[in-house]
Structure 1
Amino acid sequence: MLETTAEVMCPHCGETITLFLDLSIEEQSYIEDCSVCCQPMTVSYSTADGGLAGLNVEAAS
């Protein structure tokens, strides 16, 4: 399994958190709680050639 980490800013509290991403999946979207404020956020990412191609984090509705 190909994994990487990404540093992102929580859309709720503004703290920088680390996400662990599975790069063996070409495109994924899921809800994860912030490890600081516990508010839900939607994480969406895509991969290309075994690397991270795009990453978006926004407040979950």
Structure 2
Amino acid sequence: MMQTEINYTCNACGEEIVIPLDVSQGHDQQFVEDCPVCCRPHVIHVQVDDDGEATAWAEPEQDYD
């Protein structure tokens, strides 16, 4: 069964965020998304391995005060 969602943790507020997973966009993805809780922008990284297992993590788009 193919994954349709993946989680990452917001670096600013610590919330676990669920996002849709679109494997048609490639095995190595990177995009900017605002946290739906604290609204801070993050660069989201998604990697999908050859077995279709995906991992995601976030980095701040900019330094937070």
The TM-score with structure 1 as length reference comes to: 0.77
What RMSD in Å do the two structures reach over aligned CA positions? Answer: 1.9
Match of 2:22 in 1: 22
**Counterpart amino acid of residue 4 in structure 2:** T
Structure 1 residues 26-41: aligned runs within 5 Å: 26-41=27-42
| d(CA) in 2 for partners of 1:41, 1:20 | 16
Larger Rg: 2
Number of corresponding residues: 60
Match of 2:44 in 1: 43
- Matching of residue 7 in structure 1 with residue 7 in structure 2: yes
Identity of aligned residues (%): 35
| d(CA) in 1 for partners of 2:50, 2:42 | 26
Gaps of 5+ in 2: none
Deviates more, 1:30-39 or 1:49-58: 49-58
Instruction: Point out the structure with the larger helix share.
Output: 2
The TM-score with structure 2 as length reference comes to: 0.73
| d(CA) in 1 for partners of 2:54, 2:15 | 23
| d(CA) in 2 for partners of 1:46, 1:6 | 11
| d(CA) in 2 for partners of 1:55, 1:7 | 7
| d(CA) in 1 for partners of 2:3, 2:55 | 15
Instruction: Point out the structure with the larger strand share.
Output: 1
